[in-house]
Amino acid sequence: MTQIKHTLSTTREGDFAQWYQEVISEAEMAEESGVRGCMVIRPWGYGIWERIQALMDADIKAAGVQNCYFPLFIPLSYFAKEAEHVEGFAKEMAVVTHHRLISDGKGSLTPDPEAKLEEPLVVRPTSETVIGAAMSRWVQSWRDLPLLTNQWANVVRWEMRTRMFLRTSEFLWQEGHTAHADREDAMSETLRALAMYRAFAENVLAMPVITGEKPENERFPGAVATYSIEAMMQDGKALQAGTSHYLGTGFAEAAGIQYQNKEGQQALCHTTSWGVSTRLIGGVIMTHGDDDGLRVPPRIAPWQIVILPMLRDTEEDAAVLAYCEALRHALAQLRAFGEPLRVLHDKRPGKATQKRWIWVKKGVPLILEIGGRDAANGQVSALRRDQLWRADAKPNFVAQTKDAFIASAASELEAIQSSLFTEAKAKRDANIVRHIDSLDALAKFYAEDQRYPGWVELCWSKPTGAELEDTVAQLKALKLSIRNTPLDGEPVSGTCIFTGKPAVERIYVARAY
């Protein structure tokens, strides 16, 4: 059998980390900016983010949450109010100390000592404190509750080791912040957001996730409970792809978010926060990418169909271009997933067969190549990105009539979306191991020369305090962490491999990004 000649120089099997960088670079999604820990998001990467934003924003608005915008800078004093919170973030924040530069007399610039701020400002790593201050002004009575806000913003966390999309000093995200009359209502919002993230990951990103509660040691600083969606990447590692926090009354107390209840008494609000970020794009790459580059789920593809005219610098070209333009127009009238199709007629100079590989690497779901004969015969030649190669190692172009292609284009995109999810879910499910019944077995499982060992599902006794610290240390020695306790409520039995006590709940253990 002929060997397929893949488009990328690195395979997933060969070097997953290197492959990841190559996909980002070859698909022109992002690049190092020259500014420490910050990336430039290029049009193809940003286009995917715009799609994620548009669809997530619709979900957020549909839940009655209103978008606002809060300051980039947070005064130090705001930040110091919530003790656990500041403890958790204090090690990684960008601090603004001056508001002017002056010449240093040596042809360069330096912060002006006379323009030193009385109180340093922190570049927001997250906005609980500054939004809490606003909520304390907005909430007066039970009638003002629930107060449901969200912002789309950039945040900064000073990271030592960065990796594009997954961990950058500056990243883009949405952060929902809500205030409620009581625990029940706040918890219900926390879980609503989590369910929204799950549905979004699965239906929009075609990325299967497990929703659950993070263990105590992995909680958001200051939170009472933190929930996450966890996705498995193709190297078997876990990616925390979104979190939702029930914050109790701690932040409300720090910021003074109080309301008069129906009985006329003052009460503290219960607050929540929840967020997803540009990290999702890293998840999409590592869930769907293959050795030929990215594969973008149709719902978030900036272009779902790219039409490549095969031009020969002859008179025939005009007819090919006209045919392609008519095809683009006809396709753009169609709808899939409740939206008009996004179709590009790529008329840039260059050979279609070369341009094809650019779009393959970018992961466009459907690529059409149209030559003079196709135009004359009312045909198209179509390539599904998720069925790229034929058995004979040639690109799997399928010739069909233009009318047949148009008639099936929307359902074809829906099939690709669905197929990517099914494929990812099968991979994920095949790489979750159960029935590991001792710490030794766990150590052995991850020590074996198994390149991508996946996740282990365990039952544990949910230790706290020193016992939990021990457990976390044992796992850390194996480079493992607890991802979450799934919310599916399946029954638990057996003994905790960490404490020897009876198990009370299940957890997923994995290596993670």
Binding residues (CB under 8 A) for its own copies: these are 31, 33-35, 38-43, 46-47, 49-50, 66-80, 86, 90-102, 108-111, 120-123, 130, 133-134, 137, 143, 149, 153-154, 156, 158, 170, 172, 349
State the minimum distance, in angstroms, from the CB of residue 208 to its own copies.
Answer: 28
Residue 47 or 371: which CB sits closer to its own copies?
A: 47
Sign of CA dihedral 436, 438, 442, 444: negative
Minimum distance from CB of 494 to its own copies (Å)?
44
| Choice between 72 and 492, CB closer to its own copies | 72
Helices 402-430 and 279-288, interaxial angle, to 10°?
100
CB of 122 to its own copies, least distance (A): 7
Angstrom distances, CA of residue 251 to CA of 91, 127, 133, 265: 20, 11, 10, 20
Nearest approach, Cβ of 485 to its own copies (angstroms)?
Answer: 33
Alpha-carbon distance of 393 to 385, in angstroms, equals 14
By beta-carbon proximity to its own copies, the closer residue of 32 and 202 is 32
**Paired residues of 274 in beta bridges:** 176, 244
Cα–Cα distance, 327 to 336 (Å, whole number): 16
- d(CA 171, CA 164) in angstroms, rounded, equals 10
Considering the complex, what minimum distance in angstroms separates the CB of residue 95 from its own copies?
Answer: 4
**Residues 6+ away with beta carbon under 8 Å from 80:** 86
Nearest residue (CB) to its own copies, 31 versus 316: 31
Minimum CB distance to its own copies smaller for 134 or for 196? 134
Cβ-based nearer residue to its own copies, 290 or 346: 346
- Which residues lie closer than 8 Å to 326 by C-beta, 6 or more apart? none
Name 126's Cβ contacts closer than 8 Å, sequence gap at least 6: 89, 155, 175, 273, 275
Q: In this structure, are residues 304 and 366 in contact, taking their beta carbons and an 8 Å threshold?
A: yes
Q: In 3D, which of 310, 313, 306 has the Cα closest to residue 345?
A: 306
Q: Which is nearer to its own copies, 135 or 482 (CB)?
A: 135
Of 97 and 450, nearer to its own copies (C-beta) is 97
The residue among 113 and 465 lying less far from its own copies, judged by its C-beta, is 113
Measured from the CB of residue 108, what is the shortest distance to its own copies in angstroms? Answer: 6
465: left (phi over 0), alpha (psi -120 to 50) or beta: left
Dmax over CA atoms of the chain, in Å, equals: 84
Angle at 484 (CA atoms; ends 479, 489), nearest 5 degrees: 145
Name the minimum Å distance from CB 277 to its own copies. 12
* Least gap, CB of 297 to its own copies (angstroms): 20
Which residue type occupies 329?
H
Residue given tokens 């199709």 in the structure block: 341
Task: Show the CA angle centred on residue 506, arms to residues 504 and 511, nearest 5°.
Answer: 140
- Nearest one of 150, 126, 149, 124 to 138, comparing CA atoms: 149
Amino acid letter, 370: I
Look at strands 238-246 and 225-232 and give their pairing: antiparallel
Q: In the bound complex, what is the minimum distance in angstroms from residue 57's beta carbon to its own copies?
A: 9
Query: In the bound complex, what is the minimum distance in angstroms from residue 333's beta carbon to its own copies?
Result: 15
Beta carbon nearer to its own copies, 170 or 213 = 170
